[in-house]
Structure 1
Amino acid sequence: MSDLIETLASYVPTLITRRLAVDPAPITAPTSETLPAAVLFADISGFTALTEHLAQKGPAGAEELTQHLNTYFGQLIDLIVLYGGDIVKFAGDALIALWPAFDGTGNYDPAFLPTALQQAARCSLEIQRQLNAYRVAADVSLSLKLTLGAGEVLTMHLGGVYGRWEFLVTGAPLIQVGLAGNYARPGDIILRPKPGHCCKPAPSVPCHPPSRFSQRRAEGRRCA
């Protein structure tokens, strides 16, 4: 039974399993919670070209497309989990992951937001190192556009029709990553937090002060 629970839990955001551990009662009314977190939006580039390429193979191409995406997403998910991220949403060929700012006792604390953002930045660099220009066919490759934000995230359970509840995330960090995505190119990591949320300098992730919005190629191993 414990293996089954662990398997099922792997499909659910940690934010939800954390709530269930405190109160396992089913949701009967809309809920909301705010928490400080770093946010990563990862958008796959090359999906359309891959789809068109494999469509020429008919039904076999559709199966091959599923296999390629499962493999690519699987590696992306493994890296995010390895670096302590919590995947909260899939949207087509993109996903959203959070790094909540926890203190040493497991409570939310905005003072630890720079640490959470730094971990998300480290994860982003490793993602681009392993998965940028990932060849899946002779003339087709997949890449990622990564954008990072940080601040107060609002999580909600809305709905209730037929007992179904949708888990949603919103807030300034989601707006940040959305705006930054307009400037991202495949292979990019764009960091756009508010002043004071920027990661502190560290040898493995050198950073510039967040006084301006800027863009760095992932190969440069910089966040700005």
Structure 2
Amino acid sequence: MDRVVEAGLPIWRFYIGLQLIHPQLQAMGFMWRRGEPVQAIARGYGIQFTPAYIGSPMQEAREQARPVRYRLAELNESNHEVLHEVRAAGGTDYYALSMRISHGRPMPVVTFATDHEGGFSAADIDDMHRLIDMMGAVTEMHIEHSIADTVANTYLGRQVGQRILNGAIRRGDGEEIRAVLWFSDLRDFTGLNERLQPSEVLELLNNYFQLVGNALAAHGGEILKFVGDGVMAYFPAEDALFLPMVTAGALNAARQVIGDIEAANEARAAGGADPVRFGIGLHVGTVTFGNVGTEDRLDFTVIGSAVNRASRLEGLTKALGVQVCASADFNEVCMQPMKSLGTHRLRGVPKPVEIFTLPD
């Protein structure tokens, strides 16, 4: 827009609204005003049902598929509030139109405003149409990149998503990494399914997953996948020197989940609902990050005995009456004190292993 102004177009304000494929946002707007930093304006789901959108020039241009123009000196009380805001800020003329893109997605709508005393000339309008046609291809490239990035991060996690987008997409591609493995699971999930309505189960699961996800993200972990009512996650440790910090992060995440779910259970009890109970298994080991599946349908996952042990440790929490079970390997590199629960057998592991839990 700075370059457009230098080229002679009297643009004072420019806005573009992009429809998104995003789990929390329906659209993102970008506002440029001459001499000011660009503003990014997030639009949540349901924006189309609010006064901010209903009756606006954006709605007119999108739904009527035609340009919309308002001479701001001629506004009346029935005109949308955004037009009055632009006029109050010094605008004299306002023009909105759709930007043509392919793939049948909702077209971005752009708006121009000028503070030039005479408004836009006919030549200015022609130039803005040509400008939008030239911007379309570049804008679409950014939209496609945003969609790919969002979908990969939403379904695979940020780190795994970036690995996929960077080209790790062939079956058999793999990389060994050392990491702290986390496996958490709800207890009596089968019973909850029998006692609750499907909508209640879905709400419970989403609330539980959100609390676990928040704790993991706050302490350096990332969800690899949801397995039914279970969460498989990892805390990467690129160097063994970082393991004390990484294991501390995993324990802090576990403490946060315990505290948050205790608070949630108090609210559930007040409403007469069953408490949520869960277990967490923690282990340190080397795993293979890689693609498995068919030639045209892949899953990016972690493979190795460390994954099996983390799952088995979680399964032991119920028998031992604790919420966290960690392996001796985890305890060995963890600087935070832990309490030994003695040696126990893990299914599929030949020898008994020492199990540790939180001291409190």
Common fold, TM-score beyond 0.5?
Answer: yes
Can you list the C-alpha shifts for 1:111-156, whole angstroms capped at 9, x where unaligned?
A: 2122211111110111111114833762512111011000211112
Question: 2:281 matched to 1:140?
Answer: no
Distance 1:120 1:183, change over 3 A: same
Distance 1:160 1:39, change over 3 A: same
Q: TM-score, normalised by structure 1?
A: 0.76
Can you list the C-alpha shifts for 1:7-55, whole angstroms capped at 9, x where unaligned?
A: 422322234233246x34x72342111111101110111322322222x
Aligned residues with identical type, % of pairs = 22
Distance 1:34 1:209, change over 3 A: farther
Deviation at 1:80, TM superposition (A): 1.2
Structure 1 spans left out of the alignment, 5+ residues: 55-60, 102-107
Alignment of 1:1-224 (within 5 A): 1=143, 4-5=147-148, 7-8=150-151, 9-20=153-164, 23-24=166-167, 27-54=169-196, 61-101=197-237, 108-132=238-262, 134=265, 135=268, 138-161=272-295, 163-185=296-318, 188-194=323-329, 197-201=332-336, 206-207=337-338, 213-216=354-357, 220-221=359-360
Distance 1:28 1:149, change over 3 A: closer
Distance in 2 (CA, whole Å) between partners of 1:48 and 1:83 is: 30
Query: What residue is the counterpart of 2:96 in the other structure?
Result: none
Distance 1:77 1:47, change over 3 A: same
Distance 1:32 1:3, change over 3 A: closer
Distance in 1 (CA, whole Å) between partners of 2:213 and 2:294 is: 29
Question: Which structure has the greater CA radius of gyration?
Answer: 2
- Secondary structure of 1:169's counterpart equals strand
Distance in 2 (CA, whole Å) between partners of 1:28 and 1:6 is: 19
- Secondary structure of 2:220's counterpart equals coil
Distance in 2 (CA, whole Å) between partners of 1:199 and 1:131 is: 24
Distance in 1 (CA, whole Å) between partners of 2:287 and 2:300 is: 13
Query: What residue is the counterpart of 1:58 in the other structure?
Result: none
Deviation at 1:189, TM superposition (A): 0.7
The answer on whether the counterparts of 1:173 and 1:193 sit within 8 Å (CA) in structure 2 is: no
The answer on whether the counterparts of 1:46 and 1:140 sit within 8 Å (CA) in structure 2 is: no
Distance in 2 (CA, whole Å) between partners of 1:6 and 1:81 is: 18
| CA RMSD in angstroms, aligned pairs only | 2.8
- Secondary structure of 1:124's counterpart equals helix
The answer on whether the counterparts of 1:144 and 1:187 sit within 8 Å (CA) in structure 2 is: no
- Secondary structure of 1:200's counterpart equals coil
The answer on whether the counterparts of 2:216 and 2:253 sit within 8 Å (CA) in structure 1 is: yes
> Greater relative contact order (Cα 8 A, min sep 6): structure 1 or 2?
1
